[in-house]
Structures are given as structure tokens and as C-alpha cells.
């Protein structure tokens, strides 16, 4: 009969990656939250201010910050597309 030894479990320091981001749509700081569902590898991006919402696939190696970066790239690409088709738009 072996006695159960109490194991001291040391918690590794987890590097803190940003989980909230500045919204590129309404410009509010730290209003964008990204929920990641690792079971289905989907990330849901939501802004608490302007309620913009997007979901996109996430690779297992990716973090929220990567998803956010990809999303921004996509938004910028869309913007460029719109400019091309609609000509010059006067959005301040």
C-alpha cells in the first residue's frame, strides 16, 4: 500500500496575450472580444460598442491576436474593394 504523496503542482506562468482589442469599425479601445471555440476551431469576434460581429476559422496554432490581425486585413481588403467599385467616398 503506497501512500499517496502530495504533489506540488507548480502553475506555469502563462504569457498574457491580449484578449481585447481596439475596434477598427467604431474606433473604441478595448471593445472587441474574441471568443475561441477550440472544439470546432471557430473564433467569434464581437465589438461591445458597435455590435459588429464576425466569425472566422482559427487554426490550432493561432491565438486571438492572430485572428484579430486576419480580420483587420480582411476589413481593409473589403474597404479597398469598395473604393474601387464606388469610386471616391467621402467618409470622414
Comparison of 26 and 42: residue with beta carbon closer to Zn ion: 26
Q: Which residues bind Zn ion (CB under 5 A)?
A: 23, 25-26, 47, 49-50
Comparison of 33 and 49: residue with beta carbon closer to Zn ion: 49
- Residue 25 Cβ, how far from Zn ion at the closest point, in Å? 4
- Residue 85 Cβ, how far from Zn ion at the closest point, in Å? 24
In a 3-state reduction of DSSP, which class is residue 47? strand
Comparison of 41 and 72: residue with beta carbon closer to Zn ion: 72
Q: How far apart are CA 37 and CA 15, in angstroms?
A: 20
Q: How far apart are CA 61 and CA 59, in angstroms?
A: 5
C-alpha cell at 70: 486576419
- Residue 71 Cβ, how far from Zn ion at the closest point, in Å? 12
C-beta separation of 51 from 26 below 8 A:
no
Amino acid at each position: 500500500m503506497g501512500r499517496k504523496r502530495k504533489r506540488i503542482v507548480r502553475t506555469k506562468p502563462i504569457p498574457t496575450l491580449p484578449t481585447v482589442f481596439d475596434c477598427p469599425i467604431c474606433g473604441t479601445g478595448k471593445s472587441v472580444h474574441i471568443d475561441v471555440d477550440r472544439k470546432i476551431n471557430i473564433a467569434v469576434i464581437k465589438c461591445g460598442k458597435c455590435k459588429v460581429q464576425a466569425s472566422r476559422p482559427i487554426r490550432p496554432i493561432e491565438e486571438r491576436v492572430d485572428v484579430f490581425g486576419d480580420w483587420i486585413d480582411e476589413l481593409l481588403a473589403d474597404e479597398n474593394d469598395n473604393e474601387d467599385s464606388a469610386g471616391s467616398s467621402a467618409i470622414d
